[in-house]
């Protein structure tokens, strides 16, 4: 028998944590098969070792959510509890741990979601044949998609992994860069190769690529193909055009999965060109069979400064957009006419302010 104790600061926090009539408390007891009691702000957990540890970590995370948001709900409890190893019963399905480790172990380390958003992302991929994921750099869009694909390959659920990326030249034409095609494309495909290298030994990855069980290719190479029994990942999807996105999505064959990920704030398309990712989300989000996940700065798991950097840029962008919107509304008061160097607004004639 193992015991653990958690201190809660106030009766208000205790009510938020355990819910009306202790309904959250009863759910946690059931999920972890432990005894949970509380008195005078002291919460006592007793049971088998791993169960107690999981319940304790869940309570700590849920208490933190209560302090940030003023409360929690059943979905929060299930998400956090599953992340700590609890088994969740969902209607119409077998018992699953929604946020369990991905069934891959490399270099002695198991791969698992690190945040609630990432856990929801992995679950959505598993439950849908087509998943769209948006979010800032570092939130695990590519990494977790590749990990889930490798998991499916090892389990025999698919026969092929295809990792795809648009080759946006950022001002340089590939034809004028030195080297053969592989050398020219390598910088654009490197993030996908890096993610793959985290999960498969180098020699094994090279062998799988030589056998074309794993392909890492630019988007243009998808044209004219139909991929059956495959797990297909499109990375940096914000840099596709509408036509390219349609072409990619229609490559899906029977018994295949697709994940489309991107960051709409880092678009490299020429000015005025509509992003295929934005367009696809607008058109396809209402389709219930398609999964859509929106990750945020809270899901970033790179260096701790990255989250603050992203938030600072986002706040600055919002401020600039609001300022520009305000200037635009002031400038829409009517046509402007220049009269002797002064500006008359609301005139019926069109004019230009010459500086």
Going by pLDDT thresholds of 50, 70 and 90, the confidence category of residue 324 is low
Q: Sort strands 160-165 and 214-218 into parallel, antiparallel or unpaired.
A: parallel
**Which one is predicted more confidently, 263 or 21?**
263
Residue 119 pairs in a beta bridge with none
Picking from 308-312, 314-318, 328-332, which range would have the lowest pLDDT averaged per residue? Answer: 328-332
Percent above pLDDT 70 for the chain: 72
Domains of the chain: 2-83 (3.30.1370.10), 105-300 (3.40.50.300), 303-355 (no CATH)
What CA–CA distance (Å, rounded) separates 184 from 171? 14
Tokens standing for residue 237: 């999807």
The continuous run of DSSP H or E covering 109 comes out as strand 109-111
Among 48-57, 192-201, 275-284, the range of highest mean pLDDT: 275-284
**Which one is predicted more confidently, 103 or 231?**
231
Closest CA to 276 of 300, 297, 250: 250
Closest CA to 192 of 255, 259, 143: 143
Going by pLDDT thresholds of 50, 70 and 90, the confidence category of residue 261 is very high
- Helix 181-197 to helix 141-154 angle, to the nearest 10 degrees? 80
Q: Sort strands 102-106 and 109-111 into parallel, antiparallel or unpaired.
A: antiparallel
Q: Supply the pLDDT for residue 349.
A: 41
Note the Cα 49 to chain centre separation in Å. Answer: 33
Does residue 338 sit in helix, strand or coil?
strand
Q: Is the pTM higher than 0.75?
A: no
Picking from 3-17, 312-326, 334-348, which range would have the lowest pLDDT averaged per residue? Answer: 334-348
């Amino acid at each position: 028998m193992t015991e653990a104790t958690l201190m809660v600061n106030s009766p208000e926090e205790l009510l938020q944590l355990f819910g009306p009539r202790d309904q959250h408390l009863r759910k946690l007891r059931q999920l972890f098969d432990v005894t949970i009691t509380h008195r005078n702000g002291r919460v006592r957990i007793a049971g088998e070792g791993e169960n107690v540890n999981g319940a304790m970590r869940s309570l700590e995370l849920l208490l933190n959510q209560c302090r940030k948001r003023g409360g929690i709900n059943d979905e929060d409890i299930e998400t956090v509890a599953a992340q700590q190893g609890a088994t969740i019963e969902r209607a119409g399905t077998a018992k699953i741990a929604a946020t369990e480790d991905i069934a891959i172990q490399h270099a002695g380390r198991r791969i698992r979601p690190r945040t609630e958003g990432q856990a929801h992302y992995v679950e959505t991929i598993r439950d849908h044949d087509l998943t769209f994921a948006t979010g800032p750099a570092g939130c695990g869009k590519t990494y977790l998609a590749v990990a889930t694909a490798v998991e499916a390959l090892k389990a025999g659920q698919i026969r092929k992994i295809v990792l795809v990326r648009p080759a946006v030249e950022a001002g340089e034409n590939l034809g004028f860069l030195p080297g053969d095609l592989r050398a020219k494309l390598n910088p654009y495909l490197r993030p996908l190769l890096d993610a793959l290298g985290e999960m498969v030994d180098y020699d094994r990855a090279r062998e799988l690529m030589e056998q074309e069980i794993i392909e890492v290719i630019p988007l243009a190479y998808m044209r004219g193909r139909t991929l059956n029994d495959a797990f297909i990942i499109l990375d940096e999807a914000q840099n596709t055009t509408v036509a390219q996105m349609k072409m990619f999505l229609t490559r899906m064959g029977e018994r295949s999965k697709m994940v489309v990920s991107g960051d709409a704030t880092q678009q490299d398309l020429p000015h005025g060109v509509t992003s295929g990712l934005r367009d696809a989300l607008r058109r396809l989000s209402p389709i219930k069979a398609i999964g859509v996940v929106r990750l945020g700065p809270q899901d970033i798991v790179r260096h701790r400064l990255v989250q603050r950097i992203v938030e600072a840029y986002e706040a600055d962008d919002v401020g600039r957009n609001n300022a520009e919107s305000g200037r635009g509304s002031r400038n829409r008061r009517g046509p402007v006419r220049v009269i002797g160097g002064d500006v008359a607004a609301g005139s019926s004639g069109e004019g230009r302010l010459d500086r």
